[in-house]
Amino acid sequence: MKLTFCALHSRLFAPMLQKCNQKRKLHHLPFKCRLITFQQRTKFSSQAVTTKTRIPTTIKLNTPEFQAIFTPEIKNLIEIFEKHNHELRIVGGAVRDLLMQKQPIDFDLASPATPEQMKRMFWDQEFSTFKDTGETHGTVSVRLYDRVNFEISTLRIFVVENGCRSKLKFTTDWFLDASRRDLTINSMFLGFDGTVYDYFNGIGDLENRRIRFVGNAMDRIREDYLRIFRYFRFYGQIAKQSNDHDCEILETIKHNIGGLSVIAGERIWTEVKKILSGNFKFDLLKLMLEVGAGPYLGLPNDVNTKEFEMLRERAAHLSLHPVTIMTSLLKNEAEMLIFNQQMKLSNYEKELGYFLINQRDIQHENPLKSYKESVVLRIENEQHLRERIEQLLSYRGEEKLLAEFKNWETPRPPVSGHDLVARGIPFGKRMSYILMAMKKRWVQSSYTLTQRDLLDSFEEIVAQVNEQYPKPNPKEKKAK
C-alpha cells in the first residue's frame, strides 16, 4: 500500500505544492514529496531508531582541515582517554564542517565514559581545572595547560520526552546517542583515526545539500520544539536553492508550530538571528511566517508585508542586521514594543529597532549632513550610533550615501573638558552643557571655528548656558 505525504491544504503552500507535484511527475530529486511505501516510512520511525542498533556507514577522512585539529592539547586529551580505555570522538557541527572542507572553530566531543569516570581520569592526571556544572546533562569541561577548554559529553538518550524538557539516561551505544540528535547532518561522529561514523545517511544528505530530521520528524520536533528553527537555520547553511524543501517536513512543522509556546523568547531569537544572518534569509523568514511562526516571533497577525518586500527588493544584497529585517514587518513603536518584550532583545538591538521605525520615513533635505551632525553632537556610544545610521541607510537602499558615510571620519571638537577646567569649570553636568553649546556653535560654522575662536566666546557661551540651565538655589536643593 502506498501513502502520499504531501497534502498541503493551505493556500500559503499552493506554490510549493505545485512545484512538488511537478517534481513527482518528473521522478527526479528523490525525497521531495514523492510517493513512499509504508515500509519505507517506518524505516525511520522513532521506535525503529531507539530499539534496534544499526551498523554505521563509515568513510575515512584525511584532509588538511582534519589534520589541523591535532594541536598538542587535543593530542594530550586523546592520550588520556586511550590510557583509561575510553573512546573519544568528535560529534556534531565540526564533523559536518570537516566533511565540507571547512575548518571548525571549535568542536564538541563525546565518549561512553560517564561524568564520574571522566572526573577520576582528570584527577589522576592532576588536571585540577575542570568543571562538572553540566554533569546532570552528562557534560564535563576541562582546561588543558591553562590554554584550551574542552567539553566532553557522555553518550545519552532521551527517556521521557515533553517539549523541551527531557530526562536523560547515559548509554554506551553510539547509535542510540546519534538517534536522539536533531538532523542527520548533525548526527555523525568522527574518530581521531579519521573514521566518520554515519548512522542516518548524513553524508549523503550533506552531499545532496538536503536537510532531514533523524528518524521521524514529528518525534524529533516534539522532543524540542526549538528544532523547528534549527531546521530553517541549517537549511540556510547547507541548501543550494532557496525553495527546495521537503514538503512533508514543512507540513509536520506547521502541524507542530504551537509547541513553540513552551520555548523562551530569547532562545527563539538566538536561532532566528542566525537564520537572518545566513543564506536565503528573506525566503526563510517568509516561509516561517507561512507555517505560522509569526506569533512566536513577537510579530502581529497582519505583518507589514509590503514594507518587507520593498526592503527585500532594494537591500537584500546589503549587510542587514537581523533586527533591521524584522522591523520591516512592524508598523509602529507599539508593535516594536511587543517584539522587544517577547524576544528579550539586548539594549543594542532594542535601540536599533526603535531608531529604524522612527527614522525610516523621515526625509532630510541633506540626510548625510544631518546624520553626521548627530554623530558629532552625540551623547551616547559613537560606534553604536554610526552602526544604526549605517543600518538605516542600508534599509533605504541608499548605497552611495552608505559608502560615503562609512568612509567619513568623525571630526573631533577643538575644545575639551581640560580647556574648561583651566577656566574654572569643574567636571560635571554643567561642564557637559557648556561643551555641548560649544560643539553646536562649531557644527553651525561647518567645523571652521578654531579652539581660540570658541574660547574667545567662552563668557558668552557660559552666560547662555546659565540662562538655559539656571543653577539651583542651595536652599531649594537642600529641601529636595
Q: Grid coordinates in use for 186?
A: 548533525
Q: To which residue does cell 557637559 refer?
A: 432
For 203, other C-beta atoms within 10 Å of its C-beta total 19
End-to-end CA distance of the chain: 85
Residue with cell 532630510: 364
Contacts of 472 (CB under 8 A, 6+ apart): none
The dihedral region occupied by 47, where left means phi > 0, alpha psi between -120 and 50, and beta the remainder, is alpha
CATH of domain 298-410: 1.10.3090.10
Q: Which residues pair with 462 in a beta bridge?
A: none
**What are the cell numbers at 381?**
556610544
Place of cell 553646536: 440
User: In degrees rounded to 5, what are phi and psi of residue 244?
Assistant: -105, 45
Strands (E), 86-129: 89-91, 108-111
Phi/psi at 308 (5° precision): -60, -45
Query: Which region, left, alpha or beta, applies to residue 113 given φ > 0 means left and ψ of -120 to 50 means alpha?
Result: beta
DSSP state of 213: B
Single-letter amino acid, residue 92:
G
Identical fold at 55-212 and 298-410? no
Angle at 267 between CA 265 and CA 273, to 5 degrees: 95
Helix (H) or strand (E) run with residue 283 in it: helix 281-290
Torsion of Cα atoms, 187 then 75 then 150 then 100, to 10° = -40
- Among residues 300, 371, 374, 310, the alpha carbon closest in space to that of 332 is found at 300
Q: From the first residue on, what is the mean pLDDT of each consecutive set of 10 residues in the chain (480 residues)?
A: 38 45 37 31 38 84 95 93 96 95 92 92 72 71 82 84 64 95 96 97 96 95 96 96 95 97 96 97 98 97 96 96 98 97 97 97 91 92 96 97 96 94 92 94 94 94 90 58
For the chain, domain boundaries: 55-212, 216-293, 298-410, 417-468
The closest of 182, 249, 154, 196 to 58, measured between CA atoms, is 196
**Half-sphere exposure in the Cβ direction for 145 (13 Å, CA):** 9
Residue length, the chain? 480
Specify the residue for cell string 537602499: 397
Contacts of residue 417, Cβ cutoff 8 Å, sequence gap at least 6? 427, 431, 435
pLDDT of 295 reads 97
Residue pointed to by grid coordinates 586511550: 82
Cell of 387: 552602526
Give the CA dihedral 108, 109, 113, 118, nearest 10 degrees: -80
**CATH class given for the domain over 216-293:** mainly alpha
Q: Are strands 148-154 and 108-111 parallel, antiparallel or unpaired?
A: parallel
Q: Could you tell me which CATH number the domain at 55-212 has? A: 3.30.460.10
Q: What is the pLDDT of residue 146?
A: 73
Q: 71 phi and psi, to 5 degrees? A: -80, 165
